[in-house]
Chains A and B, each alone.
Chain A
Amino acid sequence: MYQPGRTATWSAGLLVLLVAVVLVSAALGPVRIDPVTVAMAALNAIVVPTGVSVTSSSVTVLGVAIPVLVPAFEYTAVFSFDVAGSHQLIVETIRMPRIALAATVGFSLAAAGTVMQGFFRNPLADPSIIGVSSGAAAGAVAAIAFPAIVPLGSIHLSAFVGALVTAFLVYAIATEGGRTPVATLLLAGVAIQAFLGALISYMLVHSGDDLRQAVVWMMGHLNNTTWSDVGFALPVTLLGVGVLSAYVRELNVLLLGEEDAHHLGVDVERTKLLLLALASIVTAAGVAVAGVIGFVGLVVPHIMRLIVGPDHRILLPTSALAGASFLVATDTIARTGPAEVPVGIVTAFVGVPFFLFLLVRREVHSL
């Protein structure tokens, strides 16, 4: 029978691993900083709000100025370790945002991948199986290549919207009479992905000077990350995975098949919609800021399933944490190599051989 203590132990262990990987990663780079200094610099960066003041401002909507009150917080640093100014700057504003984003994206993709594999009862499912990544890519490429046409100012927002619109479209196509058969969903996802692939190619052909930017985005990248990227992706991811973790038992029961799940008290269609929506939002949050990073969401849940078993109550949190460590580690390789490469290339280089190894060993044959 399921033991909550086992999940707690594994999660705590993986959290410690994540912290260690983060510290080592932040220590590596053109400037070597020892991990202790990194830890101190990171702690120095932690601030808490200690005061609040309200200022009046106004927002213009459709040419009408609407006055709003904006609260302004005053922050105070909790720690003040003695760290060289340049090191503090490198850790706080260059390496940490990128590492935090890598951890966030790894967390979101691995969690979403776990949910999708369970949901589809298919070992080949990944977070983008219903076209979320293709939608994000289409949105991002459109924003890059035709900034004049796409009204959503930022590439991130455009990608996020593209991802969610695609997911909704696939769900709507596959739903008939209140039922959404998983097989139809899968096929609709494949078809829409193919269509979006063609659309993206068309846009790339006509993207002119923006081609390079668009291609790099699609490969998955974490460079030039700012805290604002993290500020967008992290809350969405934590909220999404938080709600998903309340549905882990439903995910287990759904593995028995939908009719059995119904007989065991699961409101099947509602649960499916909820799982699909949350997994898509979490994925979209990740790919919108980091581009299409493959294999994290496919391989990490598989590895964790081999280690901790198929029970989603332990699989979901451990996969998410392991995914965070995995992407931080692979991104460290991506940025510290002789020439910086998009992290999506590294995850595929590392992930594919490992996945094939599992496949040949017949350890990945079913869920």
Chain B
Amino acid sequence: MTDSSNRVNSGATEPEPVEETETHLEPAPITVTDLSLSFGDLRVLEDASLSIEPGEFVGFVGPNGAGKTTLLRAISGAITPDSGTVTIDDTDVHAVSSRASSRLVAVVPQDTSLSFSFPVRDVVEMGRHPHRSRFAAPTHEDRDAVERALERTRTTDLAERPIDEVSGGQRQRVVLARAIAQETPALLLDEPTASLDVNHQIETLELVRELVDSGRTAVAAIHDLDLAARYCDRLVLLAGGTVHDSGTPDEVLTADALAEAFDANATVTTNPVTGTETVTALPDATAVSGTGAEQPGESAASEPGDNATHAHVLGTGTTAASAVARLATAGYDVSVGPVTPGDAAAETAARLAEGAVSASDSDSSSRTVETVTVEPFAPLSADDRAALESHITQADATVLADLTLTAGNQLVLDPLESVEQPIFVETTPLTERNGVGAAARERYEACRERGVEVGLPDLLAGVEGVLSGSGLGTVGVDSSSPAVEADEADEADESDEASGRGDAVQESAVSQEASDD
């Protein structure tokens, strides 16, 4: 009855009636009320309540052991809760037969034991089981549903292959096809992307998104927060067996919520490509520095009343990005530069800056991240130079993270002269990073002589050491500034020339490559 009415409805709304008519379903609302469940003495779910609107794609996120899978299993009716109810389309799934519930909700399990050689098509056909009577042969409807499900998941080519001879990604699609063939108004997926490569992850979630858009309610436990934010309409953050938070991805994925639920130190920024939230977990600063992540400045505050310590990072690329992230998360005010737009360090700093803004209402992570951005291949402008100088001279600690010396930026060596004990993080030898010659190398190495070298993991400890050893990370600004200015004036001309040469070299290299091709 309902089938035929659905078909009529959708036939009117769908532009391609032949393909889509029967798969257009009326999505079902899902309501979970005060669900509690224990495995033996272990309380896995505790008064979990949530309601899911028809046609929503909801992601369950949360740390391992938060109860994501258990909640999914309780919703599907696979396990019976100690108390509380689950209704799908206003039907209590625990009060009806498995046949009745399997017509309401299809499940894509995390792993299916398919270690026997049924052909793929037969496995998909099993999705029709709830719709068939005991003795009847497959009907046209069954066959159509199976073929459509194969098509949608692009597994038609695999249909005759034994299921135990297809790859993990293909197998996941086959199981999804089985759930599609089940033609239920609700779909539950347990870690649908867990064992898939990045391409198949996207493919799978795109498909789920399509299914939701064509009239299904979907709930997925998803480990990957970025993917969850990208594809789900709403996220339910589970922690300790209960619903910690629920809402749109940008409402749920906040640094504070993640800190509470995951006990993790993470920043939430906007992915520049997808425009959705992206979560970057960072090493736990407390474990590295030995002091509270919020107050590293306690040991060496630069100014009274300002409890944040300022660190400046010189360098580009992933090493610098990592240094920036570590310092910022550990609670330092961080500045970085000179960097060009698009550089990993610049991107990281930008994200961290956003995170700092979004989290500014909580004083636990009130730190600033500033970036001195310069044009690629261009000499430092006077403004940039001034900004850099001020950052470096005011910084309590200066970190050189794989600093690449170019014609454009070698001026940064000048303010460095005034830094008593710079901190070096180097993952590649200077010879690979030096584009300007011996004079610059000597100055850089002289600088390194005075400084301390640390590996990236020990960065925070190194900074702490420098700060506590010298009290202040920089020498007095007053005494050194004349010399600095003098040097600067001398080399300004040189650098202009040098940058001109540098550009020429770059260009000729490019044209060389082009002609080679």
Task: Decide whether A and B are members of one complex.
Answer: yes
Residues of chain A at the chain B interface (Cβ within 8 Å) = 1-2, 4, 121, 246, 249, 252-253, 255-257, 259-260, 262-268, 309-311, 366-367
Chain A contacts for B113, CB-based, 8 A:
121, 256-257
Listed by A's residue number, 11 A-B pairs whose Cβ atoms lie within 8 Å are A1-B125, A1-B143, A2-B125, A249-B129, A255-B116, A257-B109, A257-B113, A259-B73, A265-B129, A267-B99, A310-B116
CA distance A61 to B253 in the complex (A): 79
Identify A264's interface contact among B121, B129, B138, CB under 8 A. B129
Q: Closest CB-CB distance, B140 to chain A, in whole Å?
A: 12
Chain A contacts for B58, CB-based, 8 A:
none
**Known contacts A1-B146, A246-B134, A257-B112; is A265 also within 8 Å of B102 by CB?**
yes
With A265-B129, A311-B118, A311-B122 given, can you name 7 additional A-B contacts, CB distance below 8 Å? A1-B121, A1-B143, A2-B125, A259-B78, A263-B77, A264-B130, A265-B130
**Known contacts A262-B98, A267-B98; is A256 also within 8 Å of B138 by CB?**
no
- Closest A residue, CB atoms, query B117: A310
Is B39 interfacial (CB 8 A cutoff)? no
Mark B114-131 against chain A: 1 for CB-CB distance below 8 A, else 0.
Answer: 111111011101110110
Is B132 interfacial (CB 8 A cutoff)? yes
Q: Closest CB-CB distance, B159 to chain A, in whole Å?
A: 9
CA distance A200 to B126 in the complex (A): 44
Within 8 A of A (CB), among B61-107: 73, 76-78, 97-99, 101-103, 105-107
Asked if B109 and A266 sit within 8 Å, CB to CB, the answer is no
Is B182 interfacial (CB 8 A cutoff)? yes
Identify A253's interface contact among B103, B129, B137, CB under 8 A. B129
CA distance A53 to B103 in the complex (A): 54
Residues of chain B at the chain A interface (Cβ within 8 Å) = 73, 76-78, 97-99, 101-103, 105-107, 109, 112-119, 121-123, 125-127, 129-130, 132, 134-135, 137-138, 143, 146, 164, 182
CA distance A309 to B117 in the complex (A): 8
Identify A246's interface contact among B73, B117, B122, B135, CB under 8 A. B135
Q: Closest CB-CB distance, A9 to chain B, in whole Å?
A: 15
Asked if B117 and A264 sit within 8 Å, CB to CB, the answer is no
Chain B contacts for A263, CB-based, 8 A:
76-78, 98, 102, 105-107, 109
Chain A contacts for B103, CB-based, 8 A:
265
Chain A contacts for B134, CB-based, 8 A:
246, 249
Chain A contacts for B125, CB-based, 8 A:
1-2
CA distance A270 to B122 in the complex (A): 24
- Closest B residue, CB atoms, query A4: B137
Chain A contacts for B98, CB-based, 8 A:
262-263, 265-268
CA distance A202 to B143 in the complex (A): 59
CA distance A268 to B99 in the complex (A): 10
CA distance A336 to B462 in the complex (A): 92
Chain A contacts for B76, CB-based, 8 A:
263
- Closest A residue, CB atoms, query B131: A265
Asked if B122 and A2 sit within 8 Å, CB to CB, the answer is yes
The 6 closest A-B pairs by CB, nearest first: A265-B130, A265-B102, A265-B99, A263-B107, A367-B116, A264-B129
**Known contacts A253-B126, A265-B129; is A366 also within 8 Å of B116 by CB?**
yes
Chain A contacts for B101, CB-based, 8 A:
265
> How many inter-chain residue pairs (CB < 8 Å) link A and B?
85
Asked if A259 and B109 sit within 8 Å, CB to CB, the answer is yes
Asked if B99 and A366 sit within 8 Å, CB to CB, the answer is no
**Known contacts A2-B138, A266-B98, A311-B122; is A260 also within 8 Å of B130 by CB?**
no
Chain B contacts for A246, CB-based, 8 A:
134-135
Asked if B109 and A260 sit within 8 Å, CB to CB, the answer is yes
Q: Closest CB-CB distance, B256 to chain A, in whole Å?
A: 36
Chain A contacts for B105, CB-based, 8 A:
263
Q: Closest CB-CB distance, B431 to chain A, in whole Å?
A: 56
Q: Which of A1, A121, A267, A309 has the most CB of B within 10 A?
A: A1
Asked if A252 and B138 sit within 8 Å, CB to CB, the answer is no
Q: Closest CB-CB distance, A249 to chain B, in whole Å?
A: 6
Q: Closest CB-CB distance, B149 to chain A, in whole Å?
A: 12
Chain B contacts for A255, CB-based, 8 A:
116, 118
Q: Closest CB-CB distance, B144 to chain A, in whole Å?
A: 11
CA distance A1 to B118 in the complex (A): 10
Chain A contacts for B143, CB-based, 8 A:
1
Q: Which of B118, B123, B143, B146 has the most CB of A within 10 A?
A: B118
CA distance A204 to B413 in the complex (A): 99
Chain B contacts for A266, CB-based, 8 A:
98-99, 129
Identify A260's interface contact among B112, B122, B164, CB under 8 A. B112
CA distance A7 to B149 in the complex (A): 26
Q: Closest CB-CB distance, B191 to chain A, in whole Å?
A: 14
Q: Closest CB-CB distance, A86 to chain B, in whole Å?
A: 47
- Closest B residue, CB atoms, query A252: B126
Chain B contacts for A121, CB-based, 8 A:
113, 116
- Closest A residue, CB atoms, query B76: A263
Q: Closest CB-CB distance, A125 to chain B, in whole Å?
A: 13
Identify B114's interface contact among A1, A2, A256, CB under 8 A. A256
CA distance A367 to B164 in the complex (A): 11
CA distance A253 to B113 in the complex (A): 11
CA distance A259 to B111 in the complex (A): 11
Q: Closest CB-CB distance, B354 to chain A, in whole Å?
A: 42
**Known contacts A1-B122, A1-B138, A259-B109; is A264 also within 8 Å of B132 by CB?**
no
Asked if B116 and A264 sit within 8 Å, CB to CB, the answer is no
Chain A contacts for B107, CB-based, 8 A:
260, 263
- Closest A residue, CB atoms, query B77: A262
- Closest A residue, CB atoms, query B108: A263
Asked if B118 and A310 sit within 8 Å, CB to CB, the answer is yes
Q: Which of A121, A260, A267, A309 has the most CB of B within 10 A?
A: A260
Asked if A267 and B122 sit within 8 Å, CB to CB, the answer is no
Chain A contacts for B182, CB-based, 8 A:
264
Q: Closest CB-CB distance, A247 to chain B, in whole Å?
A: 8
CA distance A311 to B138 in the complex (A): 14
Asked if B117 and A249 sit within 8 Å, CB to CB, the answer is no
Chain B contacts for A257, CB-based, 8 A:
109, 112-113
Q: Which of A257, A265, A267 has the most CB of B within 10 A?
A: A265
- Closest A residue, CB atoms, query B78: A259
Chain A contacts for B78, CB-based, 8 A:
259, 262-263
Q: Closest CB-CB distance, B166 to chain A, in whole Å?
A: 15
Chain B contacts for A311, CB-based, 8 A:
118, 122
Q: Which of A263, A267, A311 has the most CB of B within 10 A?
A: A263
CA distance A1 to B137 in the complex (A): 11
- Closest B residue, CB atoms, query A268: B98
Asked if A256 and B135 sit within 8 Å, CB to CB, the answer is no
Q: Closest CB-CB distance, B142 to chain A, in whole Å?
A: 8
CA distance A1 to B182 in the complex (A): 15
- Closest A residue, CB atoms, query B107: A263
Asked if A249 and B122 sit within 8 Å, CB to CB, the answer is no
CA distance A204 to B134 in the complex (A): 47
Asked if B146 and A249 sit within 8 Å, CB to CB, the answer is no
Chain B contacts for A1, CB-based, 8 A:
121-122, 125, 138, 143, 146
CA distance A238 to B45 in the complex (A): 48
- Closest B residue, CB atoms, query A258: B78
